[in-house]
Amino acid sequence: MSRSRVVNVPGSIGPVVFGVGWVTIRCPRQYDELMRRAGGTWEPGTRQWLVERRRIGPVIRELERVVDPLFAQAGIRLD
């Protein structure tokens, strides 16, 4: 049996801003490949990615791993 785990989606991680429903994500183009790997769909009209909520966990973990150290170096806490 598969257990689904509800992921608490933050409002933002660094320059990446999350929405509701499907998770809508606006982010710099450097994160396009990450969004594709998560099965994201690019919405050109709104210029944002749509990612199924069940697939957002790996995106959040990767962003925290990559983005947090950059802000920490600048002395900015994301908590």
Amino acid at 46: T
- Please give the residue that has the higher pLDDT: either 57 or 20: 57
- Is position 26 within any domain? yes
Span 1-15, pLDDT tens digits: 455 666 777 888 888
- Is position 2 within any domain? no
- Is position 29 within any domain? yes
Q: What is the pLDDT of residue 78?
A: 61
Q: Give me the number of domains the chain comprises.
A: 1
Span 31-72, pLDDT tens digits: 999 999 999 999 999 999 999 888 888 898 888 778 777 666
**Enclosing domain of residue 16:** 12-73
12-46 as b/e: b if 16+ CB within 10 A: ebbebebeeeebbbebeeebeebbeebebeeeeee
- Is position 78 within any domain? no
pLDDT surpasses 70 at 76:
no
Q: What is the pLDDT of residue 67?
A: 77
- Is position 18 within any domain? yes
- Is position 32 within any domain? yes
